[in-house]
Amino acid sequence: MPNLVIIESPSKISSIKNCLGSGYKVVACQGHVRDLPKSTLGVDIENDFAPHYINIRGKGEIISSLKKEAKAAAKVFLATDPDREGEAISWHLANALGLPIEQTKRVSFNEITKPAVKAAIKNPRNIDLALVDSQQARRILDRIVGYKLSPFLWKTVKSGLSAGRVQSVATRIIVERENEIREFVPDEYWLLDATFRNSAVRAKFFGLSGQQSKYELKTEAETNEVINAVKNAEFKVNSVKRAVRQKNPAPPFNTSSMQQEAFKKLNFQSQYTMRIAQELYEGVNLGAENGGIHGLITYMRTDSLRISAEAADAAREFISEKYGEKYLPSQQRVYKTRENAQDAHEAIRPADVTLEPENVKKYLSSGQYKLYKLIWSRFIASQMSNAELDTVSVDILADKYIFRVNGSVLKFDGYMTVYKTDDGDDESEGSRLPDLKEGEVLSLDELIPTQKFTEPPPRYTEATLIKFLEEKGIGRPSTYAPIISTIISRGYVKRDKHSLYPTELGEITTRLMIDNFPDIVDYKFTAQMEDSLDSIADGKTSMTDVLEGFYKGFDENLHKAEEKTSKVDIVIPAEKTDIICEKCGSTMIVKNGRYGKFAACPNYPECKNTKPLDHNGAVKTDAAAAEATGLKCEKCGGNLIIRNGKYGSFYACENFPKCKFTKQITKDTGIPCPLCGSKIVTKRGRNNSFFYSCEKYPECGFSSWDQPLEQKCPKCGGMLFRKKGKNIVYCINKESCGYSAEYDATGEENE
């Protein structure tokens, strides 16, 4: 009778089986099995906020199967993810399967490697009910806010809106930055540079001789005063200061810094980063020569910068062998985790430092390789010696003014041989100055004044918003990606390339929240609520006390808001376009219709002019001229233009109706056909649905309604497909391999 190990994600089954052997059966619960009901509040506020949990719709078959497996097993181990959400899933599983809570064996591991998994199985523990209560408190808080506030927004702003405890704060942050940008008044300032004959030196005006801080030139008159004083003066080297500057490596990643750096270096959105990190943690098939399936990184939801002694020793041994002793500091580097961080897990690091990114690249998708390389490089660099730079600072005296020039040259690359950050590492080389001596006189070539104006603060990107949330203690790193995704999908925030900006809806809703629910959107209050949840997890306070403390003020504010606010008080301005109505000359506005957004004249019903819009907000017209397609008709040689029909856009001959040639518009997916190696493209099929086929179809017989993915099957290396309309992936080799998994097995989507 084998032991049973229940995990969250099906995609980890092979990895963990590989670690445990034949005496264990590994099955997956596929995330949460119980939750609060969707149709009602599900929280008994009058009875100490007791939650009413029900089995999640669609999970009945899984629960029945798990019950049978548990009944037949010698021992049952609950091995859900090693965080509060995972602890709660184990608790729900124990209840759903009828396992005694006090006797249930809970195991957790920070990495999916044989030593870690076997050690966890040998040392099971009880379910940590304090962690469970902390997760329950978060879930109940978010349910109360969402369930009570959303109807208020429907009545006062717009039907279909929803509010969230943390997403409302995130929206406020973006709204307030937009207001700062609008209200910004630029200040004038001037720069003054001096260049010299027969020299590469370009010195910048610093200020009066003897002053310690730089003096800013505010006006052209101040700048001209300096120019007039020095243009005929002697420029003499007043001082030359040389030093060796040490540059410390950055610490290994935690969840927040990984998301920020992946955005900056790889252009990955936070949600994509977390999905790829989940895949690397759960395991990738590296082929028989590398021992099959490996979990490549440690658990990716962590606040900590701590690493284990074993990991530090492995890194030091690797660095010594690959790079040499001079790249190894005399002692292990230890990084301090920020205050109030959850330190249950290590920092994000490679599970095995000897699995270098280049050596496993062929087994990884493009995204997996890029992120793994980033994590591996950052970790190795974090344990290496400092980089050293030879620096020089030269002060040049002219009349009573100082012009200064700085230079630096990389003396020893240290950690930078592996990883460079964005704080000037890439500019360390190439700024060598001539060998200037004190007292040396330089021959002035040109004085270059430049007028400048201060810039408004930039809009937030995903990286800078995550950094701000972390600094303020708002939310937790595991929630940052869902927060950003939610405020965009609900129409409160939009993306403009990398920048995030608020919509009219986001601004109006934020003003309403600030006026009526100041605590909900208060940075400090939200951060204090996170501290309260931490206190529950630490056993210092009770779930009921935290919920009671929150609900009293929230309920009072809700009643006041409902009494004083009505829908007539709130007007959402129409979204304007830059399209001019050719019939009446008005600026058209955006409307939503049965087939999506369209531009409409604001003078309706007097003027009924409309234009269909594409997903980018541009007008869909037949005048997307032939130059735009660059294609010729295969029948008559005329230009192909884009037309819009009942089932979307298509290519048509400009000589219609004389020539009735049409052609489907296809889009290259960049994924090779599994049958012939040509490109897979998307096409429009029946019922206006898209399907995938080889570009040589029907000569090549490959076609599929399911989406082909870049990732390879972790069991056999075959192509993976995502089932149409479902979050399930499966291997192309269905019969021989049989692999299938949840597409994005991150458990329940947190706020």
DSSP secondary structure, 448-459, as one string: EEEEEEPPPPPP
Q: How far is CA 498 from the centre of its chain?
A: 12
596-603 long-range contacts (CB < 8 A, ≥24 apart) are 602/574
Contacts of 540 (CB under 8 A, 6+ apart): none
Q: Tokens 């999970």 appear where? A: 59
Judge contact between 256 and 467, C-beta under 8 A. Answer: yes
Task: Let me know how long the chain is.
Answer: 751
CA distance 675 to 694: 9
Structural domains in the chain, sorted by start: 3-127 (3.40.50.140), 149-184+459-569 (1.10.460.10), 188-248+387-453 (2.70.20.10), 255-381 (1.10.290.10), 576-612 (no CATH), 626-663 (no CATH), 667-742 (no CATH)
pLDDT of residue 645: 60
Q: Around Cβ 151, how many Cβ atoms within 10 Å?
A: 15
pLDDT of residue 627: 37
CA distance 108 to 695: 47
Quote the CA–CA distance of 305 and 50 in Å, as a whole number.
36
Annotated catalytic, 299? yes
Whether 712 and 719 have beta carbons less than 8 Å apart is answered as yes
pLDDT computed for residue 746 by the predictor: 33
- Token readout for 465 is 């918003």
Q: In the 8-state DSSP scheme, what is residue 346?
A: P
Whether omega before 482 lies within 30 degrees of 0, making that bond cis, reads no
CA atoms within 13 A on the CB side of 332: 15
The 10 Å Cβ neighbour count of residue 243 is: 11
Tokens of 676: 């012939």
- Residue in 139, 108, 166 with CA at minimum distance from that of residue 344: 108
Report residue 39 as tokens.
């149709």
State how far the Cα of 617 lies from the Cα of 113, in Å rounded to an integer: 49
Q: How far is CA 174 from the centre of its chain?
A: 16
673: left (phi > 0), else alpha (psi -120 to 50), else beta?
beta
Structure tokens at 55: 């089995």
- Asked if residues 389 and 429 have their Cβ atoms less than 8 Å apart, the reply is no
DSSP 151-167: HHHHHHT-TT----TTH
What pairs with residue 487 in β-bridges? Answer: none
Q: HSE, CB side, 13 Å, CA atoms: give it for residue 394.
A: 23
Residue 293, strand partner residues: 285
> Which spans in 4-125 are helix H?
13-20, 60-72, 84-97, 114-122
Map residue 509 onto helix, strand or coil. Answer: helix
Across the beta sheet with 662-663, what order do the strands follow? 640-645, 648-653, 662-663
Secondary structure class of 472 (helix, strand, coil): helix
Residue with token string 């979990």: 295
Neighbouring residues of 260: CB distance < 8 A, sequence distance ≥ 6: 463, 464, 466, 467
Determine contact, residues 576/601, Cβ cutoff 8 Å: no
Which of the residues in the chain have pLDDT under 70? 339-344, 422-431, 566-572, 592-596, 614-630, 644-649, 684-689, 725-727, 735, 742-751
- The active-site residue, picked from 281, 299, 372, 460, is 299
Q: Of 429, 435, 424, 430, give the one whose Cα is nearest residue 413.
A: 429
Helix (H, G, I), strand (E, B) or coil at 730: strand
* H or E element at residue 50: strand 50-51
Q: Which amino acid is at 100?
A: P
Considering only CA atoms, which of 655, 610, 607 is closest in space to residue 632? 655
And the tokens for 58?
């669609």
Alpha-carbon distances, residue 680 vs 707, 724, 735 (angstroms): 10, 16, 23
Q: Can you point out the beta strands (E) in 635-677? A: 640-645, 648-653, 662-663, 667-672
